[in-house]
Chain A
Amino acid sequence: MHWIVMALKNAGRRRLRAAVTVGGVAIAIAALFSLLSFQRGYQSGMQGELERLGAHVLVVPKGCPYDAASMALHGASWPCYLKADYLKRVAQTSGVATAAPLLMNAVYDSTTGEQFVYQGAEPGLLAVKRAWHIHGTFPTAVRERLLGARIAEKRHLRIGQEFALPGLPGETGIVSGILAPTQGADDDFTYMPLAEAQRIFQRPNQLTHILVRLTDPNILDAVVSDLRGCDAGMDMNVVPLTHLFHTIQGLVNSTRTLLGCVALVALLIAGAGVSNTVLMAVTERTREIGVLRAVGATPWDVFGLIWLETVQVCLLGGLVGAAVAMMGARGIETWLRERLPFSPTETLLRPEFGLFLACLLTALLLGSVAGLLPAWRASRLTPIEAIRQGGGV
Chain B
Amino acid sequence: MNTQDLRPIEAMVPPFSASAPPVVIEAVGLTKTYRRGTESVHALDGVSFTVREGEFAAIVGPSGAGKTTLLHLLGCMDTPTAGALTLSGHSTVGLRDGELTRLRREQVGFVFQHFGLLPTLTVAENVALPTLFSRRRAAERARELLERVGLSHRQNHRPHELSGGEMQRVAIARALVNSPRLLLADEPTGNLDSASGASILALFQQLNRDGLTVLVVTHNPVLAAAAPRQLTLRDGKLVLDTGPLSR
Q: What residues of A have a CB within 8 angstroms of the CB of B104 in the complex?
A: 294, 296
Q: What residues of A have a CB within 8 angstroms of the CB of B130 in the complex?
A: 295-296
A341 within 8 A of B: no
B174 within 8 A of A: yes
Contact residue among B98, B114, B119, B174 (Cβ-Cβ distance under 8 Å from A295): B174
Q: What residues of B have a CB within 8 angstroms of the CB of A288 in the complex?
A: 116, 118
Sort chain B's interface into a size bin. Answer: 20 to 34
Closest to A383 in B: B77
Q: Tell me if B97 and A294 are in contact (CB < 8 A).
A: no
Q: How far is the CB of B76 from chain A (nearest CB, A)?
A: 9
A365 within 8 A of B: no
Given contacts A382-B78, A384-B78, A387-B77, contact A299 B116 (CB under 8 A): no
Q: What residues of B have a CB within 8 angstroms of the CB of A287 in the complex?
A: 114, 116
* Bitwise interface map of B from 85 to 129 toward A, beta carbon under 8 Å scored 1, else 0: 000000000000110011011000010101111111100010011
Contact residue among A3, A9, A294, A296 (Cβ-Cβ distance under 8 Å from B116): A294
Main secondary structure of the interface of A (DSSP, over half): helix
A350 within 8 A of B: no
A205 within 8 A of B: no
B16 within 8 A of A: no
Q: What residues of A have a CB within 8 angstroms of the CB of B134 in the complex?
A: 296
B230 within 8 A of A: no
Q: Tell me if A12 and B125 are in contact (CB < 8 A).
A: no
Which residues of B pack against A, CB within 8 Å? 72, 75, 77-78, 97-98, 101-102, 104-105, 110, 112, 114-121, 125, 128-130, 132-134, 174-175, 178
9 smallest A-B Cβ distances: which pairs? A296-B105, A291-B116, A9-B120, A295-B130, A296-B133, A384-B78, A383-B77, A294-B110, A297-B133
Chosen A-B contacts, 22 in total, with CB atoms closer than 8 Å, are A1-B128, A1-B129, A1-B132, A3-B132, A6-B121, A6-B125, A287-B116, A291-B112, A292-B129, A292-B133, A294-B75, A294-B116, A295-B129, A295-B133, A296-B104, A296-B105, A297-B101, A298-B101, A299-B98, A384-B72, A393-B116, A393-B118
Which residues of A pack against B, CB within 8 Å? 1, 3, 6, 9-10, 12-13, 287-288, 291-301, 382-384, 387, 393
